[in-house]
């Protein structure tokens, strides 16, 4: 994670720890107070208030057992916070 006054850049790795292939994935999280997600790459990002969902693209949704993919995002912040972000991963 990189951060600067008023913003941050982060990379998230999604890994299939199961024994069968996944045909799709999604990662959801809730941003701490005063933070926003503004842009992503290698994922379809949607934001509703503080709730953020990143879904696979057509080309990185299939993950065989032990495979992984990474997506990135840019965000903004009007304050400094050390509040942890709880991430939930599901298959689609």
Domain boundaries, the chain: 1-21+39-75
Q: Which tokens in the block code for residue 58?
A: 């057509």
List, in order, residues 6 or more apart from 62 with CB less than 8 Å away.
Answer: 21, 22, 23, 24
- Rounded alpha-carbon distances, angstroms, from residue 6 to 33, 80, 81, 86: 13, 9, 11, 21
Measured at the alpha carbon of residue 75, what is the angle toward residues 58 and 62, in degrees to the nearest 5? 20
Rounded Cα–Cα distance for residues 44 and 71 (Å): 10
**pLDDT tens digits, one per residue of 24-69:** 999 988 877 666 666 899 999 998 888 889 999 999 999 999 999 9
pTM: 0.81
């Amino acid at each position: 994670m990189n951060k600067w006054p008023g913003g941050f850049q982060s990379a998230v790795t999604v890994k299939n720890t199961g024994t069968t292939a996944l045909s799709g994935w999604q990662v959801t999280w809730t941003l701490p107070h005063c933070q926003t997600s503004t842009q992503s790459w290698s994922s379809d990002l949607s934001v509703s208030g503080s709730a953020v969902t990143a879904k696979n693209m057509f080309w990185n949704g299939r993950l065989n057992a032990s495979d992984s993919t990474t997506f990135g995002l840019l965000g903004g912040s009007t304050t400094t916070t050390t509040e942890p972000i709880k991430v939930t991963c599901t298959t689609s």
